[in-house]
Amino acid sequence: MLILNKTAGVFSKPSRRKTYEFLRSFTFHPGKLFLHKLVLGIETSCDDTAAAVVDETGNVLGEAIHSQTEVHLKTGGIVPPVAQQLHRENIQRIVQEALSASKVSPSELSAIATTVKPGLALSLGVGLSFSLQLVEQFKKPFIPIHHMEAHALTIRLLNKVQFPFLVLLISGGHCLLALVRGVSDFLLLGKSLDIAPGDMLDKVARRLSLIKHPECSTMSGGKAIEHLAKQGNKLHFDIKPPMQHAKNCDFSFSGLQHVVDRLITQKEKEEGIPKGQILSSAAHIAAAVQHTAACHIAKRTHRAILFCKQRQLLSQSNAVLVVSGGVASNLYIRKALEIVTNATQCTLLCPPPRLCTDNGIMIAWNGIERLRAGVGVLHNTEGIRYEPKCPLGVDITEEVGEAAIKVPQLKMEI
């Protein structure tokens, strides 16, 4: 058991003998002996305090997570100083739980990997300073992690997906399409020009007061919309997908949010319902907004696939599209994407929901990927800073727009 010792360092020194530790860092297989890489991953970029220990074969030896969702649901969104305080209160316990579950002592780790970009400054700061104390105390290499790179590479922990592949990351804070050519080799094809789809769904759910709906009170906004949409008719309201004339792979969700906002105000007037109460047409609105968002996401992704195939950046017949992020757990959006991948002879892969949202496993796995590739492993952490804003890879969004690829119309029968 590791015990916090504030004066001596983050954890007190483990009492195991050196020889035993040395032997534990090897894995024995009949007839062969190989060095087993073990990485501790730490994630605090937004509203989840998470940690995990993963080995180089992708085995998750231990993990722990503390989600702040419930607290932020009550305040109607993330309040950064509150998130920071909750990370501070939980990080030591979460890291200790992940290590204890893995039965790995800090001295046995090959490296410590931590999200340092992008994210909320106050949240990133907690994870980084805690990690640097651990790194200093146990004299371990440090691997700074780009949160979106980690989301993109998670699939390789589960499937033997080879580079290159296309990735669509859709969450509460992020929305991008990128071609993954290697561990830290990305081409950015498109991104949201304003808010992310999860943020839009959260705002619509709040405007619809779904937290007061008996079936949705504990759900995130996106999950509540998905749940309620099943009871509604997507064609009851005709909401046009955004950016229909822009032949690029960028996204936009704030216009859609405002359209829905005005629709809700109009319906409140018609139904004689004050703001803050649930409309009788709430399910129809949920269905329409989900359908419109799904069509928009599908169309931009379709264009990205066609662009990559046209430029021979992806295989013609064996291309892979990976979809991840909290919004990727939406089955309606997944079905819309399946229509696109079926039409373009691509394989659609999604990590399971618990690996789609923020977690420590993806950070540890990104650390393993970087260790194996020998990129970004630091033995000196002097000058290391967190970066709240940080693009992913080489931005070729303009080139994608200039190609102006026309996307054939697909029947979105979901």
Q: Which positions touch Mg ion (CB under 5 A)?
A: 46, 358
The reply to whether 87 sits near ligand ADP by the rule CB under 6 A is no
86 binds, among Mg ion, ligand ADP, none (CB under 5 to 8 A by kind): none
Q: How many CA atoms lie within 13 A of 277 on its CB side?
A: 9
* CA-angle at 68, arms to 258 and 191, nearest 5°: 45
Q: How many Å apart are CA 31 and CA 81, to the nearest integer?
A: 54
326 contacts ligand ADP (rule: CB under 6 A): yes
Q: What is the 3-state secondary structure (H, E, C) of 386-414?
A: CCCCCCCCEECHHHHHHHCCCCCCCCCCC
Structure tokens of 151? 């989301």
CB closer to Mg ion, 46 vs 195: 46
- Least distance between ligand ADP and beta carbon 358 (Å): 5
Cβ 147 to Mg ion shortest distance, Å: 10
Candidate segments 109-117, 156-164, 198-206, 396-404, binder of ligand ADP by CB under 6 A? 198-206
Q: Does 242 bind ligand ADP (CB under 6 A)?
A: no
Interface with ligand ADP, residue 358, by CB under 6 A: yes
Q: Which stretch binds ligand ADP (CB under 6 A): 20-28, 124-132, 216-224, 313-321?
A: 216-224
Residue 55 sits in the site that holds ligand ADP (CB under 6 A):
no
The H helix count followed by the E strand count for the chain is 14, 15
Locate 12 and state its tokens.
């007190």
**Closest distance of CB 49 from Mg ion, Å:** 11
Taking the complex as a whole, the smallest distance from the CB of residue 6 to Mg ion amounts, in Å, to 29
**Closest CB 77 distance from Mg ion, rounded Å:** 12
Cβ proximity to Mg ion, 338 vs 358, nearer residue: 358
**Least distance (Å) between residue 332 CB and ligand ADP:** 8
CB closer to ligand ADP out of 223 and 291:
223
Could you give the CA distance from residue 213 to residue 368 in angstroms, rounded to a whole number?
Answer: 43
Nearest CA to 156 among 54, 58, 19? 58
Q: Does 351 bind ligand ADP (CB under 6 A)?
A: no
**In whole angstroms, what is the distance from residue 178 CA to residue 164 CA?**
10
What CA–CA distance (Å, rounded) separates 226 from 374? 42
Between vectors from CA 199 to CA 387 and to CA 179, what angle results, nearest 5°? 60
Which of 154/220 has CB closer to ligand ADP? 220
Interface with ligand ADP includes 222 (CB under 6 A)?
A: yes
**Residue 48: CB minimum distance to ligand ADP, A:** 6
**Measured between alpha carbons, how far is 53 from 119 in angstroms, rounded to an integer?**
22
User: Torsion over CA of 235, 238, 244 and 248, rounded to 10 degrees?
Assistant: -50
Length of the chain: 414
What is the contact surface with ligand ADP in residues (CB under 6 A)? 46, 171-174, 198-199, 201-202, 220-223, 226, 325-327, 329-330, 357-358
